[in-house]
Amino acid sequence: MKRYETLAEDIAQSIRIGVMKIGDRLPSVRQASASRGVSPSTVFEAYYLLEARGLIRAKERSGYYVIAGIKTLPPEPEIVSRPDGDPTQVDVSELVFDVLESTRTRDVVPFGSAFPSPMLFPFARLARAMTSSVQHMDPWSTVDDLTPGNANLRRQIALRYLIDGLHVPTDEIIITNGALDALNLCLLAVTRPGDSVIVESPTFYGALQSLERIGLEAIEVPTHPRDGINLEALA
């Protein structure tokens, strides 16, 4: 396990055996970092993991608190993908567009895509926020975020790397328009049409569309919802 996972499991065990109870406050990030001999970012990741598990919750300007005990989970189902492992030409765009087309139908809940219902967006509040932002916007800010990205943001990312002991010059950091844009740039930088690329099975349809667009073949690798990629299949 990674350091943050080990720390999260230690805290979860304390909750499990009753050492920490609902309402107890966890050590601050600084305290946990000093007592455990790990970086603050490791503590943050551990706390984020515990939050995702529903065991703790952050209170603004107060810290992290235990909000639930450990529940006995039902047996984990056996869900393992079993691709054949051969290079495959990718041809998914037509199917993807058919699925996305369903989002236009108002009486259909599109479980085949990750688009929320337009009815969930707080348009009135968004409009007020955008109006206020535009009124105070520096005109030159419209060009601050052009490639390779906002200089201040790239500097903050470099400082975050520094916390983990990594020295990354700001001119080696590029801000992209989301993860898919980053994936496209990486594929264009290191592959050529006809190359084979290892992908999880199943994987995000947008990633498969990127492979199809560039003319790459996919080699599917078995995955498990908890353990991730089967590393033995890569050998």
The domain spans of the chain are 3-66, 88-117+178-234
* pLDDT range class, residue 126, cuts 50, 70, 90: very high
| Predicted model pTM | 0.59
Q: Which residues of 101-136 are buried (b: 16+ CB within 10 A; e: fewer)?
A: eebeeeeeebeeeeeeeeeeeeeeeeeeeeeeeeee
pLDDT, residue 131, reads: 93
Q: Is the pLDDT of residue 30 over 80?
A: yes
Is residue 168 within 8 A of residue 158, CB to CB? The reply is: yes
Q: Phi first, then psi: what are they for 132, rounded to 5°? A: -65, -40
Of residues 90, 116, 113, the one with CA closest to residue 100: 113
Using CA atoms, how far residue 161 sits from 7, 19, 142, 155, in Å, is: 20, 34, 27, 10
Tokens read off for 128: 């007020």
Assigned fold of 88-117+178-234: Aspartate Aminotransferase; domain 2 (3.40.640)
Residue type, 28: S
Which tokens in the block code for residue 131? 């109006």
Do residues 55 and 24 touch, judged by C-beta distance below 8 A? no
User: Mean of the pLDDT values across residues 171-189?
Assistant: 93
Across the chain, mean pLDDT equals 88
Residue 71 has pLDDT above 80, yes or no: no
- The pLDDT value recorded for residue 111 is 77
Least confident of 1-5, 51-55, 110-114: 110-114
CATH entry 1.10.10.10 includes domain 3-66:
yes
How crowded is the C-beta side of 45, counted as CA atoms within 13 Å? 12
Give the C-alpha separation, 204 to 215, whole Å. 17
DSSP state, residue 19: S
| pLDDT at res. 72 | 59
Q: Which residue did the predictor score with more confidence, 114 or 229?
A: 229
Is the pLDDT reported for residue 117 higher than 90?
A: no
